[in-house]
């Protein structure tokens, strides 16, 4: 079966995607520098799949090391590029680090792909490229206008998309799929892999589960005065396993040669927006655990409401995110309990 190189493959979304690829019969080689993950993830993947994936501890910015990876695995036919720094607040504080890491890693990967005659790439992008869409663009489809990024992190996603499009224009053999995620949550149902943020979580659900586990005193809900039904922000929360499966579909489509454009773009979400308070209340209902929380002022940079119109991904990729939110939230709690033992 075809071999796929997965950069950042021990990260949150990367690890779940590696599992789905291997379960579909793909050979995988992971490249990661463990800047935001650990070697334990490889054990989790092996426990789920029954086979340990090939792994190289390499920084994607290191051209010589990446050259060696492609040379060592000459059967690589495609790349899924996850490797990137991803904390919005950190990117505001350290923009140069984000531009160096997120932009140069993609440039290096594309250069090595070209050198080694690998012509297929799936790029991990984000709905942040849409900013706060105007009301007429909700739910958000792929034709919604790209807006000025609210953070250096978001800007790196926009620039990376432009880099891919420019390289595709210059290289007629390159085929790229850009996947714009909404808000990935949850963990593998086995509780063998999941989201493990460094330090204080930047995302809602890990903060919820850590508060439920007693690691955090209380959850802060940033604002209850937004123009939404309950006043809290609305997001499109997508199960990480469903999201991972979309990457497999994207790889299949490219390898089969059925892509109709050189660069294809898909929004990946459920098509339904849920508020912060809805997530919180549903989590408490599903787990029976009470979460102490406090309403505080709005947080700078937060978007009021955004959710996907995933019709294109549903129709073209033959993919749908349809895991019930109750199951998704329970998977996150099961994972939290496992890692706190």
What is the pTM assigned to this prediction?
Answer: 0.97
pLDDT tens string 128-147? 999 889 999 999 999 999 99
Cis? peptide before 139, omega within 30° of 0: yes
Q: What is the pLDDT of residue 301?
A: 73
Length of the chain: 341
Active site residue 153: yes
CATH code for residues 3-185+238-269: 3.40.50.720
Q: How many angstroms separate the first and last alpha carbons of the chain?
A: 38
Ranges assigned E (strand) in 99-218 = 120-126, 175-181, 183-185
Domain residue spans in the chain? 3-185+238-269
Q: What is the pLDDT of residue 280?
A: 98
Tell me which of 153, 181, 237, 239 is the catalytic residue: 153
Judge contact between 333 and 282, C-beta under 8 A. no
Question: pLDDT 10s digit of each residue in the chain, 341 long?
Answer: 899 999 999 999 999 999 999 999 999 999 999 999 999 999 999 999 999 999 999 999 999 999 999 999 999 999 999 999 988 888 999 999 999 999 999 999 999 999 999 999 999 999 999 988 999 999 999 999 999 988 899 999 999 999 999 999 999 999 999 999 999 999 999 999 999 988 888 889 999 999 999 999 999 999 999 999 999 999 999 999 999 999 999 999 999 999 999 999 999 999 999 999 999 999 999 999 999 999 999 987 788 999 999 999 999 999 999 999 999 999 999 999 999 88
Cα separation values, 20 from 26, 242, 321, Å: 9, 10, 14
């Amino acid at each position: 079966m075809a071999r796929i190189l997965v950069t950042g493959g021990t990260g949150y979304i990367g690890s779940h995607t590696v599992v789905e690829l291997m379960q579909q019969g793909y050979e995988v080689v992971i490249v990661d520098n463990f800047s935001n993950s650990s070697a334990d993830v490889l054990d989790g993947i092996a426990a789920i799949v029954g086979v340990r994936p090939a792994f190289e501890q390499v920084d994607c910015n290191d051209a010589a090391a990446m050259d060696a990876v492609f040379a060592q695995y000459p059967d690589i036919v495609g790349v899924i590029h996850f490797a990137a720094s991803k904390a919005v607040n950190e990117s505001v504080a350290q923009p140069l680090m984000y531009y160096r890491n997120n932009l140069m890693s993609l440039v290096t990967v594309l250069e090595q792909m070209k050198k080694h005659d690998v012509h297929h790439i799936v790029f991990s992008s984000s709905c942040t490229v849409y900013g706060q869409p105007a009301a007429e663009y909700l739910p958000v489809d792929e034709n919604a206008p790209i807006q000025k990024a609210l953070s250096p992190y978001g800007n790196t996603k926009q620039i990376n998309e432009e880099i891919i499009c420019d390289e595709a224009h210059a290289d007629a053999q390159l085929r790229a799929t850009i996947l714009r995620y909404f808000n990935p949550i949850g963990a593998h149902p086995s509780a063998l892999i999941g989201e493990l943020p460094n330090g204080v979580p930047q995302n809602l659900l890990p903060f919820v589960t850590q508060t439920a586990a007693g690691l955090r005193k209380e959850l802060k809900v940033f604002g209850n005065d937004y123009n939404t039904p309950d006043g809290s922000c609305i997001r499109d929360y997508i199960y990480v396993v469903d999201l991972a499966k979309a990457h497999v579909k994207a790889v299949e489509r490219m390898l089969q040669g059925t892509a109709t454009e050189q660069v294809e773009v898909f929004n990946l979400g459920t098509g339904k927006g849920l508020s912060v308070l809805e997530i919180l209340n549903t989590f408490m209902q599903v787990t029976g655990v009470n979460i102490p929380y406090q309403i505080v002022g709005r947080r700078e940079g937060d978007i009021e409401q955004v959710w996907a119109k995933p019709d294109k991904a549903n129709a073209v990729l033959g993919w749908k995110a349809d895991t019930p939110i109750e199951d998704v939230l329970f998977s996150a709690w099961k994972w939290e309990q496992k890692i706190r033992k």
